[in-house]
Structure 1
């Protein structure tokens, strides 16, 4: 992915990316499953390689499965991953699996960026 701000065109799971203070923000959108996750996983991995804090803007996620949870937990091992504004679908999955206790979940990107 490019290092600059992107508009995230197309229908895939990867939306915009941009810096927010010391953090790098990556937007996820749509369905996050084994078939759609590779571009998002690659973007999160690239962000983790060059940023101490990575914020996943998850407000526009419409579906997520265990593959998504695996990706989030792997990225969490590489960097300070913060999930911002998870959609109701993702928030429910995180709560049902207890993953919300393993990940830093914030109400929105601004709150995730402010945490020290």
Structure 2
């Protein structure tokens, strides 16, 4: 368990740059290389799609860090996650420690990972985006 600081986060955050893609680059990219972020009822929603492991986590980690730096409430839409390992789990816990994270509509692989590891008792997990936004705290 590590606090969020640049030294500890370096390994999680190392990955492809967080610059948004322009032109036709998005077509060739894997889904997780382009992380969608948008505003929803005062919260910042970060959409996770595809497979996540230590090598593909960089853009998602960058997006979550940027969202927590600028918004009081951050929602991870995990409905499109097709595979997630311990590095994805560690990232969710790291961001959860900011006190801002809610996880919305986790896919079956994410639900399984959270149940097996017991973090479903720790993380704020809701079935829908609107439920996640409504969570106080």
With normalisation by structure 2, the TM-score equals 0.75
Gaps of 5+ in 1: 3-8
Q: Specify the alignment match of 1:30 in structure 2.
A: 50
Find the aligned partners of 1:17 and 1:79 in 2 and give their Cα distance. Answer: 19
Note if contact 1:49-1:78 (Cα within 8 Å) is conserved in structure 2: no
Q: How many residues align?
A: 110
Kept in 2: contact 1:51–1:79 (CA 8 A): no
Which residue of 1 is the match for residue 130 of structure 2?
110
Q: How does 1:9-48 map to 2 (within 5 A)?
A: 9=26, 10-13=29-32, 14-48=34-68
Shift in Å at residue 37 of structure 1? 0.3
Q: Deviations over 1:1-56 (max 9, x none)?
A: 68xxxxxx442324421111121000001001101000000000010011111000
Q: TM-score, normalised by structure 1?
A: 0.88
Distance 1:54 1:79 in 2: 9
The partner residue of 1:84 within 88, 97, 104 is: 104
Once the two structures are TM-superposed, the CA of residue 60 in structure 1 deviates from its matched residue by 0.5
Taking only aligned residues, the RMSD between alpha carbons, in angstroms, comes to 1.5
